[in-house]
A and B are shown apart, each in its own frame.
Chain A
Amino acid sequence: MQDEDCIDSRKLSPLDFLRNASLNYDLQISHHYGSHPRVNIGLFYVQSSRASIEFFAHLSEFWLRFGKSGYLSDQRVLDALLNNYDRLDQTYLQAMKFTPQRPLNWTTHDFGNQFSHLMTDGSAFTLFDQAARFSKRSKKFHGVVHPRFFTVPVNHT
């Protein structure tokens, strides 16, 4: 009985949605299906490996040197430095050459799709109501109860 309950009520954490671990990707980034990567992005999973450490060390170095001098988008920088990606901008690669010892094994991935936006399934409503109940927030999601208007629930019987 306990097993059945576990299967029914087991919610899936983001880590359950990762690409098959046996293929051992160093980096999984969220897929932006044809749209601008900055519009719906911001989800990646890095496996700690030599290739990923090398890549991210280079990425951090690049950002430390060039991130402050122009209005660079961090996502564009990440995409530009990925090997074999649709080259968004050659200038990033010209600014700082990257010759990795180990090629990065990376992929785009859906992450179950609902984890791109953690708040867009209506959970904001329940969270804010909970916050109001635990007095972390002064009013509920839909606002303060107006003293002049009231709603009468009608039972159609």
Chain B
Amino acid sequence: MLDIPRGEIQQTSGDAFARYASDAHLLSLLRRQATSLKQVIVTIIGGDSYSLFAWDWHERMLEIANETKNCHCFVIAMDEISVVLAVQQGVPVFYSTFSFDQQMLWKNSIEVRQHSLYRVGFAKFGATTRIIQLGYSVMLSEMDVFW
């Protein structure tokens, strides 16, 4: 199921996750994917999203996009697994993660349920803030969540 050839895997030197979470990568994604009006469409993957969600969503966006190559969208990943899945499936991805200093300030880091709720909000608001601060407009959609 891996479409990525052997050579490319060895080429990713250093911390690939840090690269996918960097500002430079976000900016390059925005420059590549944005429309002429500097708009992008974004969704959040990770947590309990099924493994093909990134690909499904990307295919769906390509289907309804008016341009053949560019659907002006990328994916924001909440955890490392979803980063890997998105890269394997060929979907442009930005990794929304916490810096070490931020994590040092946490109380109740261990509780899984609280953390997964916190992660979603962090991806939604933090990544959106960074994108609009760079001057790009965002449409964010997420899967249905029942509370």
A residues neighboring B (CB under 8 Å): 10-15, 18, 36, 38-40, 42-48, 52-53, 56-57, 59-60, 63-64, 67-69, 71-74, 77-78, 115, 117-119, 123-124, 127-128, 130-131, 135-137
B17 at the interface (CB under 8 A from A): no
B33 at the interface (CB under 8 A from A): no
A39 near B41 with CB under 8 A, answer: no
A74 near B120 with CB under 8 A, answer: yes
Interface size class of B (residues with CB under 8 A): 35 or more
B66 near A11 with CB under 8 A, answer: yes
Pick the contact of A46: B102, B109, B138 (CB < 8 A): B138
Q: Provide the residues of chain B in CB contact with A42, threshold 8 Å.
A: 140-145
Knowing A13-B64, A40-B144, A60-B129 are in contact, say whether A119-B56 is a contact too (CB < 8 A): yes
B69 at the interface (CB under 8 A from A): no
CA gap between A44 and B140 in the complex, in Å:
5
A56 near B141 with CB under 8 A, answer: no
A15 near B121 with CB under 8 A, answer: no
Q: Provide the residues of chain B in CB contact with A72, threshold 8 Å.
A: 117, 121
Q: Provide the residues of chain B in CB contact with A44, threshold 8 Å.
A: 139-140
Known: A68-B115, A73-B147; 11 extra A-B contacts, CB below 8 A, are A13-B41, A43-B140, A43-B142, A46-B137, A48-B131, A48-B138, A53-B133, A63-B122, A68-B107, A68-B108, A136-B52
Q: Provide the residues of chain B in CB contact with A69, threshold 8 Å.
A: 107-108
Q: Provide the residues of chain A in CB contact with B132, threshold 8 Å.
A: 46, 48, 52-53, 56
Question: Interface readout for B89-113 with A: 1 if CB under 8 Å, 0 if not?
Answer: 1000000000000100011110001
Question: Closest residue to B60 on the A side, CB-wise?
Answer: A118
B65 at the interface (CB under 8 A from A): yes
A14 near B41 with CB under 8 A, answer: yes
> Please, could you name 24 A-B residue pairs with CB atoms under 8 Å apart, sorted by A?
A11-B63, A11-B65, A11-B66, A13-B64, A13-B72, A14-B41, A14-B141, A38-B145, A38-B146, A39-B147, A42-B145, A46-B140, A48-B137, A53-B129, A64-B102, A64-B122, A64-B126, A67-B121, A72-B117, A73-B117, A115-B141, A117-B144, A118-B141, A127-B56
A131 near B122 with CB under 8 A, answer: no
Query: Nearest 3 A-B pairs (CB), nearest first?
Result: A74-B121, A42-B142, A38-B147
